[in-house]
Every structure is written in C-alpha cells, then in structure tokens.
C-alpha cells in the first residue's frame, strides 16, 4: 500500500467544523492511515518547518527558497490536489484488501439471504403436509436464527478482539459452508429415525444447523466491521461503508428475488447426475467461496499475546460497557442506529397492513413496498459514498432524521395511494442511509482498535434486539391505535433521535 507523504492536511479538509465536531487535534482524523500501519513523521520535514519560522520578527529580508524547497512545495500542492480528487469509491476500489473483503461479503451475504429460501424449499418438500400452513415451520427456523443473535452477540465480540480478524472471517464462512453441505447427508441418515417429541428428526436437525449457522454469524459480523478500519484509511471509511451498505441492500433484493429460481435451476442441473443436492451446493458453495476469497485478505494485525491469553468474558463485557458509557459519541451513534433499525423493523410489519389497504395490492405483495425502501437505501448509499465527504457527519444524521420523520408523516396521510407510498418509502430509504452510514463510520473511527470487537459485538446484540421487539409490538400497536398513529409515533422517535445526536455533539464542542 502506498503511504501518504507527510503533509499538513489541514489545508484540504472538507469542512473546518469537522475538527470541532470530532475534537480533532493537530491533524484531521480523516487523513489518518489505516490502524494496522504505522507512519512516522520525517525528521527532515520537522527541521525544515522549524527553520522556516526563524527570523520572522522585524526583519524585512526576503526569505531564500532553494530549489529543493520549491520542489517540496510543488509536491505538497500536487499531493493535496490529488488527495482532493481521491474521493468517492475509486480509492476504495483500488484497495486490494478491501476488494477481498468486499468480494467475500458478496458471497457470504448472498448465502445468508438464500439460506431462508433453502429452508423453506426443504420444509415444503419433506415436512409440510398438503393442507398445512408453512408459517409454523418457518417461524421455528426464524427463532433458531434469532436466539444466537440475542445470546451470543456481545460474547462473540469479546473473542473477536483476541483473535485474528482474518482467521475469524475465513473459518466462520468455511464452517457455515460445511454445515449447509452436510444437510443432504444428515437428512438421508436420519430419515428412518423416530420423531424427537412432536418434531420429525430431520426438522430437528434443520433447527440445530440453523442455530449453529447463526452462532457462527455472530462471530463473523463484528470481525467484518472491525476489519474495515484496519484496511481502509480513515478518510475513506465513509465511502467503504457506503459501498458495503449498497451491496447489502442489493443482495437483500437479489437474494429474495432470485433465490427460488436459482435453487430450482441448481436442482435441475444436479438431477441429471442422479441427485437433488443442487440447492445445498449453491448456498454451501457460496459460503465456501467467501471463505476462500477472504484468505487473500491482509489486515496487517501484529501477533499479540492476546491470542495466547484466555478471554475473561464477563470482565471484557464490563470493559466494553464501561467504554461505551464513557464515550458519548459512540453511545449516541449506537442509539441512532437502534432507533433507525427499530423503525425499519416496524415498517416490515406495517407494510403487510399497508398492502392490505392499498387498492390493487394483496397482503402477500408487501415485499414490493419493502423493496422500494431497499432501492432508496442503495441509491442514498451510492450518492453518500461519492459525495458524502463534503459534509459533516452530524449534519447528515440530522438531515436524515428529519427526512425520515417527514416520510413517515407522509405515509400516515397517504396510506392508500400506491404511487405516493412507493415514492415515500423510497425516499425514506434514502434518508435512512444518511443516518446509518455516517453513524456506523463514526463508531469505527471513534472506537480504539483493541475495543472494536467488544463494541461491534454489543452493537450486533442491541441491533438484533431492536429488530426483534418492534416485530412483536408494531402489529399490536397498529391493532389498538391504528396505522396512522403508529407512523406518527415512529416519526416522533426519528426526529427525537436526530435532535439528541445533534445536541450532544454540539454541547461537546
């Protein structure tokens, strides 16, 4: 990786107020290199800077500039101009380590999204009766996925801090791939076994495998977030997170949209060979490919004694909570993310009711409404990654919160107008990206390297809880107080979170 020259980067900060907002010192935090690299200031430049200040008293003599000084000034100017041009996605895409991590994300998250489709396909072909609803079976699988997120999210972060991030990323993907590829063998071996309670043995195996896959995901998620600041310069973190968010939302749409036909095609191809394991090959193979791609990753982590020391789980959890309690900016960003994900979880439930009341739509077509939100998030993330460096994070968060509140108020008013609902949900997704990406970037920047696993583990935990509670409460609230009242309540929560973040950051400065 090319190391930046020793420049006074104050001269090309995107906004002077950024120093106040994040309490930067001599040099803007956006100009710092990745945390895995150590840069030393040249003694020659320090001496030159000191000598340039000598004799600045009452003397009117014209300072001498040697040809070397002229070359240095020219180089500094050129580097500064080049740095200004190195905004957006281009410098991130030039980073080979980020490309390895991003490529691994594509296959890993594609497998995550198609996994549920795989479970539904297996259930419908093996366990569901002809006149029986599939909802109960799917709900059990979803519970098996949710429980590890609540139980192990924070604990996994403790271990991630003490382990190599690359090793965690590679091993978790390879193990998940192995578990999925083992499904046909395990179902074949247990097809004549007695039921476990009221459950068929094969379905009990699916529940156990789903639990294990989700548990491994709890280790993968904080390791992935902690690896980004190790391989991406601080000034490019916003673009990196924007690209990640864009990819994630695209895979949500693609995964659920093409998952079923993709698995059907894979099964049709493998049936020619005399087996029906195409579905498992697609999902398990995607995890395995992700693990292989992540082997190319170089995080620059040094060997430390932490890997040889047994983690003190509860003490490390307390340390993470205390660190979170002392850092207002991280805590506030986390609160913003919790509010945002709660709103979207509630929207996922309310979308079913909206699809019922909108003329021309069925409740089963609520996915079209959610897809509009995904398109908005992807579009907003793309624009933010390209131009977001020109703005201060707290401004983006406030604008995004106000925009989300406005869209929710609009949904409360125009609930039955399909075109306006689609437009408002798309805009809501775009405004959500203005909150989610700057806040995630702020957490990455503000968290010290040795605490990232703990903080991202805690974040993963509280976000999963934030996603779970509204799923249960939003439907009940809509039944008692109505759709419009729920939207207005969510709008109030959005604007309150934005104002709280703005106020805390303003009072700190």
What pLDDT is recorded for position 80?
44
Measured CA to CA, the distance from residue 65 to residue 74 in angstroms comes to: 12
First-to-last C-alpha distance (Å) of the chain = 35
Question: Using one digit for the tens of pLDDT, what is the confidence trace for 18-46?
Answer: 334 343 333 334 444 555 544 333 444 44
The candidate with the shortest Cα–Cα distance to 21, out of 394, 328, 332, is 394
Q: How far apart are CA 395 and CA 378, in angstroms?
A: 20
Looking at residue 169, what is its pLDDT?
A: 94
Burial of 253 (0-12, 13-18, 19+ CB in 10 A): middle
Determine the average pLDDT of the residues in 43-53: 43
What was the pLDDT predicted at 357? 86
pTM of structure = 0.68
Q: Which of 82-96, 249-263, 374-388 has the highest mean pLDDT?
A: 374-388
Q: Which range among 240-249, 302-311, 347-356 shows the weakest confidence by mean pLDDT?
A: 302-311
Burial 388-407 (b: 16+ CB within 10 A, else e): bbebbbbbbbbebbbbbbbb
436-450 per-position pLDDT tens digit = 888 888 888 888 877
Average pLDDT, the chain: 77
pLDDT average, residue stretch 237-243: 83
Instruction: Quickly list DSSP for 443-477.
Output: HHHHS-GGGHHHHHHHHHHHHHHHHHHHHHHHHHH
Sign of CA dihedral 114, 282, 100, 218: positive
Q: Which of 57-61, 136-140, 200-204, 379-383 has the lowest mean pLDDT?
A: 57-61
Arithmetic mean of pLDDT, 334-353: 84
The helix or strand, by DSSP H or E, that contains position 218, with its residue range, turns out to be helix 201-231
Contacts of 415 by beta carbon, 8 Å cutoff, 6+ apart: 354, 357, 358, 421, 483, 484, 487
Alpha-carbon distance of 485 to 477, in angstroms, equals: 9
> What is the per-residue pLDDT across 178-223, written as a single tens digit (0 to 9) for each?
999 999 999 888 887 877 777 888 899 999 999 999 999 999 988 8
Domains of the chain: 96-311 (1.20.1250.20), 314-509 (1.20.1250.20)
Regarding predicted confidence, which is higher, 81 or 271?
Answer: 271
Q: How far apart are CA 145 and CA 184, in angstroms?
A: 20
How many C-beta atoms lie closer than 10 Å to residue 99's C-beta?
Answer: 16
pLDDT at residue 256, as a whole number: 64
pLDDT value, residue 87: 63
Report the pLDDT value the prediction gives residue 294, as an integer from 0 to 100: 94
The reported pLDDT for the residue numbered 178 is: 96
Percent of the chain scoring above 70 in pLDDT: 77
């Amino acid at each position: 990786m090319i190391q930046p020259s020793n420049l006074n980067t104050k001269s090309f900060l995107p906004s002077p107020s950024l120093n106040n907002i994040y309490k930067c010192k001599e040099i803007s935090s956006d100009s710092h290199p990745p945390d895995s690299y150590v840069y030393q200031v040249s003694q020659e430049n320090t001496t030159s800077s000191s000598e340039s200040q000598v004799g600045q008293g009452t003397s009117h003599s014209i300072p001498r500039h040697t040809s070397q000084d002229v070359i240095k000034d020219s180089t500094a100017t050129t580097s500064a101009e080049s740095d200004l041009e190195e905004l957006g996605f281009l410098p991130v895409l030039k980073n080979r380590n980020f490309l390895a991590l991003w490529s691994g994300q594509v296959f890993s998250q594609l497998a995550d999204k198609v996994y549920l489709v795989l479970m539904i396909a297996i259930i419908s072909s093996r366990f569901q009766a002809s006149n029986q609803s599939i909802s109960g079976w799917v709900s059990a699988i979803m519970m098996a996925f949710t429980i590890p997120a609540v139980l192990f999210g924070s604990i996994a972060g403790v271990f991630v801090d003490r382990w190599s991030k690359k090793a965690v990323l590679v091993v978790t993907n390879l193990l998940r791939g192995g578990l999925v590829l083992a499904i046909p063998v395990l179902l074949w071996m247990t097809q004549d076994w007695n039921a476990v309670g009221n459950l068929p043995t094969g379905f009990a195996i699916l529940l156990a495998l789903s639990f294990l896959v989700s548990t491994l995901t709890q280790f993968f998620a904080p390791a992935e977030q902690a690896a980004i600041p190790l391989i991406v310069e601080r000034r490019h973190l916003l673009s990196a997170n924007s690209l990640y968010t864009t990819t994630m939302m695209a895979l949500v749409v693609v995964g659920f949209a093409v998952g079923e036909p993709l698995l059907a095609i894979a099964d049709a191809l493998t049936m020619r060979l005399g087996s029906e394991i195409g579905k498992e090959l697609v999902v398990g193979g995607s995890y395995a490919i992700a693990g292989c791609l992540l082997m190319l990753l170089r995080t620059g982590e040094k060997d430390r004694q932490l890997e040889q020391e047994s983690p003190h789980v509860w003490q490390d959890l307390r340390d993470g909570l205390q660190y979170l309690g002392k850092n207002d900016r991280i805590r506030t960003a986390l609160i913003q993310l919790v509010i945002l994900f709660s709103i979207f979880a509630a929207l996922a439930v309310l979308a079913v009711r909206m699809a019922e009341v909108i003329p021309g739509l069925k409740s089963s077509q609520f996915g079209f409404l959610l897809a509009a939100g995904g398109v908005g998030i992807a579009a907003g993330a793309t624009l933010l990654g390209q131009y977001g460096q020109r703005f201060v994070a707290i401004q983006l968060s406030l604008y995004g919160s106000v925009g989300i509140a406005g869209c929710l108020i609009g949904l409360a008013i125009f609930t039955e107008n399909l075109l306006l609902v689609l437009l408002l949900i798309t805009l809501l997704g775009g405004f959500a990206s203005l909150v989610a990406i700057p806040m995630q970037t702020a957490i990455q920047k503000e968290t010290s390297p040795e605490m990232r696993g703990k903080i991202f583990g805690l974040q993963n935990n509280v976000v999963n809880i934030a996603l779970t509670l509204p799923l249960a409460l939003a439907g009940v609230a809509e039944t008692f107080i109505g759709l419009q009242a729920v939207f207005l309540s969510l709008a109030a929560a959005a604007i309150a979170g934005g104002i709280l973040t703005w106020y805390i950051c303003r009072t700190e400065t």
